């Protein structure tokens, strides 16, 4: 390691992301509890886990939106937990992010939404930006929709437009927060196909947060499973299926928590009253 801020050359070449001993609190609650994970260049890592286990919080740390209480996050060898905002912004230019709600600007056309990062972060001439925008929209199957406003699109199309914008700067790492949330199964499968297409075509490093099992098993090279802020399993989809941890198997088999199966007990739990 070089002055505590960089990983050594060999690790830098192999891994796009290295997370070491990441601990985070919200108020008194420990939300991420000693997370360690390495994402190889070109690898698709899916972060899987139930509601509230800390998936989105982990993602927000990886893109530098949150700072941990302790631990390190090396992106391309640089510890982003130690960086000032300006240096962080430089690194973020190499990252694309597809947020849950696609986060498009409703007042702008799709073309302008996709062009936005190029206009903000590059000095490219407008005709070049127009061409690049068209290429990105074509890549996600939205060729010809550049003049549409987000309100004129279906949920799946909005997600794809958000993806086109995430791809605008040709990122080396792409982050997805629940890419299929709120979509019907057929449209969700189209998004999975798109992810696979990007993986094949560009060999891009991707981190995908989801609780959709089918999607996770389809797109992942490796899966990281979180439970109550801790990593309870990592491995290939095959490794996960044969993992003996009962919590892993409970999640994979979609078994409810035993205590919630008792309706009366559950009502007492949420109302605080006897029923």
Ligand X SMILES: Nc1ncnc2c1ncn2[C@@H]1O[C@H](COP(=O)(O)OP(=O)(O)OP(=O)(O)O)[C@@H](O)[C@H]1O
The candidate with the shortest Cα–Cα distance to 204, out of 271, 267, 139, is: 139
- From 49-57, 80-88, 196-204, 254-262, span contacting ligand X (CB under 6 A): 49-57
In whole angstroms, what is the distance from residue 60 CA to residue 166 CA? 15
Near ligand X by CB under 6 A: residue from 26, 70, 87, 185: 26
Report DSSP letters for 110-179, one per residue. HHHHHHHHHHHH----HHHHHHHHHHHHHHTT-TT-TT--GGGS-HHHHHHHHHHHHTTT--SEEEEEST
Near ligand X by CB under 6 A: residue from 19, 37, 53, 132: 53
- Smallest distance, Å, CB 211 to ligand X? 5
Residue 5 or 250 having the CB closest to ligand X: 250
C-alpha 33: how far from its chain's center? Answer: 19
Q: Does residue 105 interact with ligand X by CB under 6 A?
A: no
* Chain residues 196-215 in contact with ligand X, contact rule CB under 6 A: 211
How many residues in the shown chain lie near ligand X by CB under 6 A? 11
Near ligand X by CB under 6 A: residue from 5, 36, 56, 249: 56
Near ligand X by CB under 6 A: residue from 39, 57, 61, 132: 57
Does residue 183 contact residue 216 with C-beta atoms inside 8 Å?
A: no
In whole angstroms, what is the distance from residue 1 CA to residue 4 CA? 6
Does residue 157 contact residue 182 with C-beta atoms inside 8 Å?
A: no
Residue 65 or 267 having the CB closest to ligand X: 65
Near ligand X by CB under 6 A: residue from 18, 22, 54, 207: 54
- Smallest distance, Å, CB 90 to ligand X? 26
Angle CA 156–162–166, to nearest 5: 140
Q: What token pair was written down for 266?
A: 């559950």
- Smallest distance, Å, CB 31 to ligand X? 4
Which residues form the interface with ligand X (CB under 6 A)?
A: 26, 31, 49, 51-57, 211
């Amino acid at each position: 390691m070089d002055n505590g801020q960089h990983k050594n050359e060999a690790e830098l070449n192999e891994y796009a992301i290295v997370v070491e001993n990441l601990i985070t609190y919200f108020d008194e609650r420990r939300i991420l509890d000693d997370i360690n994970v390495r994402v190889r260049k070109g690898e698709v890592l899916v972060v899987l886990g139930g509601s509230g286990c800390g998936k989105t919080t982990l993602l927000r740390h990886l893109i530098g939106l949150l700072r941990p209480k302790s631990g390190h996050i090396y992106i391309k060898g640089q510890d982003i937990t130690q960086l000032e905002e300006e240096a962080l912004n430089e690194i973020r230019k190499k990252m694309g992010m597809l947020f849950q709600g696609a986060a498009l600007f409703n007042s702008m056309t799709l073309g302008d939404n996709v062009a936005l990062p190029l206009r903000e972060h590059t000095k490219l001439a407008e005709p070049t930006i127009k061409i690049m925008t068209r290429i990105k929209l074509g890549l996600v199957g939205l060729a010809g929709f550049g003049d549409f406003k987000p309100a004129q699109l279906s949920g799946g199309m909005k997600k794809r437009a958000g993806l086109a914008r995430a791809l605008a700067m040709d990122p080396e790492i792409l982050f997805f927060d629940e890419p299929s949330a709120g979509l019907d199964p057929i449209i969700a499968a189209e998004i999975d196909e798109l992810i696979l297409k990007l993986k094949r075509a560009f060999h891009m490093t991707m981190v995908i947060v989801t609780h959709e099992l089918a999607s996770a098993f389809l797109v992942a090279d490796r899966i990281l499973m979180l439970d109550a802020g801790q990593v309870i399993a990592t491995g290939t989809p095959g490794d996960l299926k044969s993992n003996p941890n009962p919590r892993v198997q409970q999640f994979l088999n979609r078994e409810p928590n035993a205590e919630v199966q008792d309706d009366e007990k559950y009502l007492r739990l949420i109302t605080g009253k006897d029923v």
